[in-house]
A and B are shown apart, each in its own frame.
Chain A
Amino acid sequence: MLSFLAALVVSGVILILLGYNPLPIFELLLIEPFRSLSNIGGVLERMVPLLLAGLAVAAAFRAGVFNLGVEGQLYLGAFAAAWVGFTLAAPGPVQIVAAMAFSALVGALFALIPGVLRAYFNANEIVTTIMLNYVAINLASWLVTGPFKAPNVGSADSEAIAATARLGRFLPVSRAHIGLFIALALAVGLYLLLYRTTIGYELRMTGANSRFAQYGGVSVPKTILIAMLVSGCLGGLVGGVEVLGIQYRFRSGFSPGYGFDGITVALLARVEPLAMPLAALLFAVLRSGSSIVGVRSDVGREVVDVLQSIIILFVTAEGLWYFVRRRRAQRENAAPQSSGGA
């Protein structure tokens, strides 16, 4: 909270220096998103992919692995869901479940690649996941410019999914859809997995001190692989839910970087699944507020981005510190293994 106020002070000073009155801008940025049902709906709609992406990052990080490939996983997951949506002829609920399951599966399979490379060949997953993002995003684009391009459409889109495969919307004036509740349920689910199952225990212990886990008979490579698979499932679902709830078809380039925002959301929530909804909400408010400021005031787009970044930076700074400390602890634990030491 203190860091939030500090962020407001700093952004206020910047705005004053640029010749704006900060108060009405803050109002647009932070209050306006709650002013009407349709604005609230806009916030909730954005919250869904942010929340899921945050969970995806958190699942891997809890085992001490960085999955920076959520962006790629969500594209493939989105295509997978769309594909089921426009091919599978079945009752609506079956279509929805099948589409979501397939998007999770595809996301997981794609995360398996960096997972195996890290677990069994000790390849740095930060590098591999980032590089594989390009593979995934371009592969998905190719699929909808080539084999699965919707006929008679001028852009790189897939066919639309069956109307029955759409996720219901619950705020009439907005696009807020029941994917929100699915995401909230998954947050609880990830919490239960991490804190109430033996798999989650092994995962967290591997993340906290992998040599302690190894000593206790935990297979560290297997655990890392499981963490990557869970992360990939959630990463695929980011895209799947977005297609079924908002897009209704696969459009190349539809994600404004949800996969990377997920890292910030996870940071903000200190990698705790149950804190993730709040973090995603804050993030969604800022995103909505920024576009409102962009439309309704004469403050430039760039300045809005700066404001938004300052607030996020300040609020995550503490969480970032936590991240760095954990990461450093892991490296110190791992170092003597690889390099012999003094």
Chain B
Amino acid sequence: MTHHDEQRAETVVQMWGVTMQFPGVLANDAVDFDLRRGEVHALVGENGAGKSTLMKILFGLHTPDSGVIEVDGAGVEIRRPQDAINLGIGMVHQHFMLIPSLTVAENLTLGIEPRRGVFYDLEGAVRITSELSKRYGLRVEPRALVSSISVGQRQRVEILKTLARGARILILDEPTAVLTPQETDELFRVLRNLVQQGMSVVLITHKLREVLAASDRVTVMRGGKRIGTVETAESSADELARMMVGRDVLFRVDKDEATPGETLLEVHKLGALDERGLPALRGATFKVGRGEIYGVAGVEGNGQSELIEVVTGLRRATSGWVDVAGARIERYSVRRRRELGLAHIPEDRLTYGASATASVAENAAMGYHYRRPLAAWLWLSRGKLLAWANKLIRAFDVRGARPDTPMGTLSGGNMQKVVVAREMSHHARVLIAAQPTRGVDVGAIEFIHRKLIEYRDQGAAVLLVSAELSEVLSISDRIGVMYGGRIVAEFDGRTATEEELGMYMLGARTESRPTA
């Protein structure tokens, strides 16, 4: 189904020798790229490999220094997005550009509004929306307010928006970063449907699983260069990973057997409410020992976020207790918990984990800024702050960062390294690592996993909460599955399988099984 006859494999976009120089970075170095009609073409590479730049050039957001672009065999100049749209090229950005207070139909027809006389024709807009929705199999509710629909639905609206403007070449920039696994599968079904109708799709991503699941061909970029283009069916995750990072990436993380010591973190029948005041955590219970990584697996929204927030002091518990190294901490302030030896890599680095406008040094100091070595009394030593940041930058190989670089200018992976470095640099006894590798490139994922294991080996208890099942499986010593606000089953990390965990994660099984 993913293979098309050679006759049908006609090239719709051809880019030759595209070069783009940004100050200090050669973002694209003589890159060739071709897109065929009716294919999903994955464009992969680590953060900063130049894949987004290449596609922004195709969409007219950047003008390349040199290079030739042909659409349907004819040379074109794309100076502005409008040029690209006129050529039938549409782009769905990572951050949606929708107006929350308007309906789906109104958003969809923004700028191409149907009119009845001088008035906006809402019924016309609804009709257009339903027709497009039906034709391409993207289910949306035309009259729903965008603010009331899920992220997955918003993405569908974005895709429909480009289709409504006549796009037949669709560029999706990391579309799955914001989606749940189910929404991701749904998206891939939609893309398949689109290419069967003769559209062409470029899928920018760095998740290999998605490349293998959704694409027909893959182009790998590294350091601004095209490394190669392969047929997905003839490739493998290992091969692609090698092409992406230029070396073999360990998917199975090597680690010694865990030698769990005494319990350092104990959560007992913990309950908490979510933002809407509904119970999200309903009596979660588990223990993590010294020198152990306890992984929490689960479909997002089953109380994992609330669990982390309650343990780290950002949310109040309504029942139950939390014990760190023998101290009941559920009523402690965040600062007291940190002083007691609790460190926290938060799930969303830009909400809790960092300040984009502050410098790397200021970010690296947070939580430990008021005591030695950084501060004496109320005086915060600038020299020590910079030295400290330099030390972390070196130890964690944070690329492109100096102590005074604004945090927001770093790539996601490097930003995460700063957060991880900060939380690991104070020898906390208990480390809460929530989605520690979300939105991070392959090289950095491996690096962070190694660091987590190293940290465990130094005698810490690590609580790993991740939506990536493979992550939980590859580094946890024990695994608890969270479902409906409780830990419904625990497994030995060495023997657990994805299928088994999946049954519990999806609620197909709820009986707890004793740990092996």
Which residues of A approach B to under 8 Å, CB–CB? 195-202, 204-205, 208-209, 211-219, 326, 329, 333, 336-337, 340-342
Does the CB pair A215–B148 fall under 8 Å? no
The contact of A198 among B148, B351, B355, B375, by CB within 8 Å, is B375
Which residues of chain A have C-beta atoms less than 8 A from B379's C-beta? 196-198
Determine the main DSSP class of A at the interface with B.
Answer: helix
Q: Which size bracket describes the interface of B in this complex?
A: 35 or more
Binds A, one of B112-120, B209-217, B232-240, B332-340: B332-340
Q: How far is the CB of A128 from chain B (nearest CB, A)?
A: 26
A198 to B384, CA, bound (A): 13
**Known contacts A211-B351, A329-B357, A340-B276; A201/B380 CB under 8 A:** yes
The contact of A219 among B333, B337, B369, by CB within 8 Å, is B333
Residue of B nearest to A212 (CB): B355
Which residues of chain B have C-beta atoms less than 8 A from A195's C-beta? 382
Does the CB pair B275–A209 fall under 8 Å? no
Interface residues of B in 321-367 (CB under 8 A from A): 333-335, 337-338, 344, 346, 351-358, 362, 365-367
Which residues of chain A have C-beta atoms less than 8 A from B333's C-beta? 217, 219
B147 within 8 A of A: yes
Does the CB pair A208–B380 fall under 8 Å? no
A212 to B338, CA, bound (A): 14
Which residues of chain A have C-beta atoms less than 8 A from B380's C-beta? 196-198, 200-201
Residue of A nearest to B344 (CB): A215
The contact of A209 among B147, B334, B356, by CB within 8 Å, is B356
A309 to B370, CA, bound (A): 44
Of A209, A326, A329, A336, most B-chain CB atoms within 10 Å: A209
Does the CB pair B352–A198 fall under 8 Å? no
A211 to B353, CA, bound (A): 8
Which residues of chain A have C-beta atoms less than 8 A from B370's C-beta? 198, 202
Q: How far is the CB of A40 from chain B (nearest CB, A)?
A: 36
A205 to B357, CA, bound (A): 9
Which residues of chain B have C-beta atoms less than 8 A from A218's C-beta? 335
Q: How far is the CB of A200 from chain B (nearest CB, A)?
A: 7
B150 within 8 A of A: yes
**Known contacts A201-B362, A205-B362, A341-B275; A212/B354 CB under 8 A:** yes
**Known contacts A198-B369, A198-B378, A336-B275; A342/B355 CB under 8 A:** no
**Known contacts A211-B351, A212-B353, A342-B149; A199/B358 CB under 8 A:** no
Q: How far is the CB of A294 from chain B (nearest CB, A)?
A: 42
The contact of B314 among A199, A215, A329, by CB within 8 Å, is A215
Which residues of chain A have C-beta atoms less than 8 A from B337's C-beta? 217
Q: How far is the CB of B303 from chain A (nearest CB, A)?
A: 16
A204 to B358, CA, bound (A): 9
Which residues of chain A have C-beta atoms less than 8 A from B355's C-beta? 205, 208-209, 212
Does the CB pair A217–B275 fall under 8 Å? no
Residue of B nearest to A210 (CB): B355
B151 within 8 A of A: yes
* 6 contacts across the A-B interface (CB closer than 8 A): A196-B380, A201-B369, A205-B366, A218-B335, A336-B351, A342-B148
Residue of A nearest to B375 (CB): A198
Interface residues of B in 79-114 (CB under 8 A from A): none
Q: How far is the CB of B99 from chain A (nearest CB, A)?
A: 14
Residue of A nearest to B376 (CB): A198
The contact of A214 among B334, B362, B382, by CB within 8 Å, is B334
Residue of A nearest to B154 (CB): A342
Residue of A nearest to B422 (CB): A216
**Known contacts A198-B369, A204-B358, A205-B362; A215/B334 CB under 8 A:** yes
A281 to B378, CA, bound (A): 32
A199 to B380, CA, bound (A): 9
Which residues of chain B have C-beta atoms less than 8 A from A217's C-beta? 333-335, 337-338, 367
The contact of A205 among B276, B353, B358, B382, by CB within 8 Å, is B358
A92 to B354, CA, bound (A): 50
Q: How far is the CB of B367 from chain A (nearest CB, A)?
A: 4
Does the CB pair A208–B358 fall under 8 Å? yes
Does the CB pair A212–B275 fall under 8 Å? no
**Known contacts A197-B380, A208-B357; A215/B369 CB under 8 A:** no
Residue of A nearest to B358 (CB): A208
Residue of A nearest to B350 (CB): A209
Residue of A nearest to B381 (CB): A196
Does the CB pair B149–A215 fall under 8 Å? no
Of A198, A208, A219, A336, most B-chain CB atoms within 10 Å: A198
Which residues of chain A have C-beta atoms less than 8 A from B352's C-beta? 211-212, 214-215
Q: Kindly list 13 other residue pairs between chains A and B, CB separation below 8 angstroms, not including A209-B351, A342-B147.
A: A196-B379, A197-B379, A204-B358, A208-B357, A208-B358, A211-B351, A214-B334, A215-B366, A216-B334, A217-B337, A219-B335, A329-B357, A340-B275
Of B312, B333, B346, B366, most A-chain CB atoms within 10 Å: B366
A195 to B382, CA, bound (A): 8
A340 to B366, CA, bound (A): 26
Which residues of chain B have C-beta atoms less than 8 A from A211's C-beta? 351-352
Q: Mark B31-52, 1 if CB is under 8 A from A, else 0.
A: 0000000000000000000000
Does the CB pair B382–A196 fall under 8 Å? yes
Which residues of chain A have C-beta atoms less than 8 A from B346's C-beta? 215
Which residues of chain B have C-beta atoms less than 8 A from A209's C-beta? 351, 354-358
Which residues of chain B have C-beta atoms less than 8 A from A342's C-beta? 147-151
Which residues of chain B have C-beta atoms less than 8 A from A202's C-beta? 369-370
Which residues of chain B have C-beta atoms less than 8 A from A329's C-beta? 356-357
Interface residues of B in 137-156 (CB under 8 A from A): 147-151
A257 to B354, CA, bound (A): 38
Of A201, A202, A214, A336, most B-chain CB atoms within 10 Å: A201
Residue of B nearest to A338 (CB): B275
What 7 A-B pairs come out closest when comparing CB atoms? A217-B335, A216-B366, A216-B367, A209-B355, A215-B352, A340-B275, A217-B334
A329 to B365, CA, bound (A): 21
A329 to B312, CA, bound (A): 24
Of B334, B354, B365, most A-chain CB atoms within 10 Å: B334
Q: Mark B65-81, 1 if CB is under 8 A from A, else 0.
A: 00000000000000000
A337 to B315, CA, bound (A): 11
Which residues of chain A have C-beta atoms less than 8 A from B362's C-beta? 201, 204-205
